[in-house]
Amino acid sequence: MVCPHLEEVFAAEGPLATAIPGYRVRPQQLEMAQRIEAAIRDNRVLVAEAGTGTGKTFAYLVPALRSGGKVIVSTGTKTLQDQLFNRDLPMVRDALGLPMSIALLKGRANYVCHYHLDRAASEGRFANPAEVGHIRTIAKFARATKTGDKAELSAVPEDSGAWALATSTRENCLGQDCPHHAECFVLAARREAMVADVVVVNHHLFFADVMLKDEGMAELLPACNTVIFDEAHQIPDVAGLFFGEAVGSGQLIDLARDTRMEAIAGAKDYAPLQEATRLLEKAAKDLRLALPREGARLSAAQLADRRHFVEALAALEKELADFARHLESQAVRSEGLANCLARTHELTLRLKHWQATDEDPENPNIRWADAGQYAITLNLTPLSVAKIFRRQLEGHPRAWIFTSATLAVGSDFSHYRGELGLDDADSGCWGSPFDYEAHALLYSPQHLPDPNDPHYNEAVVEAVWPAIQASGGRAFVLCTSLRAMRRIHELLKERIDFDGADMPVLLQGEGSKTELLERFRRLGNAVLVASQSFWEGVDVRGEALSLVVIDKLPFAPPDDPVLAARIEHLKQQGRNAFFEYQLPRAVISMKQGAGRLIRDETDRGVLMICDPRLVGKSYGKRVWRSLPPMRRTREIGDVEAFFKD
């Protein structure tokens, strides 16, 4: 039976307290739930920031479930998605006594594909012996599982190459032509989502499948009454990714390899197609090799000045056209080859779009390339997603809830609302119930050089080492770049070895994120040096994490092509790009990093921000005033005294 008032639900003797071990009454949680309930009732847009410990998950789940309409909850990570589906949603539903059905929907790469699994097993083309065993394990799992969700199979590592062979992509799915169409795990998950009262997705799937009406999910959103974005601070970047276009060397290599496999089965007697797949794969790899630097993000203008890149792009165009010509002559021979031809046409079109210089003045795009270690992606990214996103909110009346621990600068939501075109949205900000004044210290060391100083990393380690000694390890050192991360790790390891300290030093990349966190917790006195991956979505409670160090204020590099284009656009409008765009984004990112420190009401710790601009520049105040209300110091002695208490 539904309680008539939210106050009763969240009360000390209410259904949540009765059903949930360790439940605590939090005034902030009730206030937030009341605002969300009103937004759902009136089909309004609400932007809600809730500090760590507020209990925002229950604050949105309770009114959403009580509303009686269909709800989509979208999260930033698969970890939170699984937590919601397996723990939080059933817990709240059962506590409220509501007969509601719940479905979990992930991207197709998370589900075993019978067709590709069979093909991989029969062809036997594996990179190493371990993959052979993994494919056999996946095949056994596919015969027993009801969902096909690879998260249920921990026996095969998530990074095993076998998963790529045993799952499908949007590009290589055969759809209704697949011989396993009737038993498809992806379609089964979608059928459940269509009839469920609550559907849990992640942001990437939401934008790919629902917003862009891709992969046949166009009917899910119209039936929905409420959309809730948790970890909503990620939405502007995810929206930019999906409202743009991309074509990458990885897609082209996958196309070449898939075509080769389909040709062996369906056009073995046509040798030119096999040669065309080889030449296309080589041309795609050559495009990446034309840009020697790993991790480079370059604008179209910068790329135009690089002769090797221009030549490699022209060669790729030629090979893709030849490949299409050969494939067209054979596509009628099998569904798989026909599918490869459709992919070829789509990638050819994307490549032409990327090279086109004529712009839509209403919605201009930024042309740029992202060169990773092994692949390159050519991107068309909207200069602003505000107008496009705003159109998605219009039409069918429904409530839209955006919530995260980090959306505002201070209590100002104008930056976030502006990025998504949420000008008329209501907003609310609820601080953490944790006692930061008693349990946390913000330390900004003195006498550090300017962050652009060539010896800045060395100075950071000199300043950080006494704090790490005082905390006995138990530290995250969060860096704003991979280069700084590697150098600071090297210097810290040298210092620890020189001093003979019994303190393990872990580095992002030495294992999966999950493995590193498990080791960090188990060791109890470790120092983990990491970059962007560990700034958010990481939860280490208790004494294992007592010191969080941030090397610099997290401003995006000014030469980043997307940032540079947006800065130039704001300048042309006579606006201050630093205060309207760069600083708010840095503040939100800083709040995410700082949020790793205090995860529970009994946690204690020190947040150390090394960047001298925090104190030396006037805008530094906007940064630390947006952080939780910790005591502040510039003296290492106060840090040592804090840990001695």
What's the whole-number average pLDDT of the chain?
A: 91
What is the 3 state secondary structure string of 298-337? EEHHHHHCCHHHHHHHHHHHHHHHHHHHHHHCCHHHCHHH
Q: Which residues of the chain, if any, have pLDDT below 70?
A: 1-4, 210-222, 358-359
Annotation: CATH topology of 246-382: Four Helix Bundle (Hemerythrin (Met), subunit A) (1.20.120)
Please give the model's pTM, rounded to 2 decimal places.
Answer: 0.90
In terms of phi and psi (left: phi > 0; alpha: psi -120 to 50; beta: otherwise), the region of 107 is beta
Exposed e or buried b for every residue in 600-621, given b needs 16+ CB within 10 A? eeebbbbbbbbbbbbbeeeebe
| The domains spanning 25-101+196-241+385-430 and 436-644 adopt the same CATH topology | yes
- Tens of pLDDT, residue by residue over 42-56, are 999 999 999 998 999
Give the number of residues written for the chain: 645
Q: Where are the domains of the chain?
A: 25-101+196-241+385-430, 108-186, 246-382, 436-644
pLDDT attached to residue 215: 45
Cβ neighbours, 10 Å, residue 494: 12
Provide the CATH number for the domain formed by 436-644 in this structure: 3.40.50.300
What distance in Å separates the CA atoms of residue 416 and residue 423, rounded to the nearest whole number? 10
- Tens of pLDDT, residue by residue over 386-430, are 998 988 888 788 999 999 999 999 889 999 999 999 998 999 999
Provide the CATH number for the domain formed by 25-101+196-241+385-430 in this structure: 3.40.50.300
Cβ neighbours, 10 Å, residue 73: 27
Cβ neighbours, 10 Å, residue 438: 9
Strand partners, 366: 381
What distance in Å separates the CA atoms of residue 293 and residue 303, rounded to the nearest whole number? 13
Strand partners, 124: none
pLDDT attached to residue 211: 67
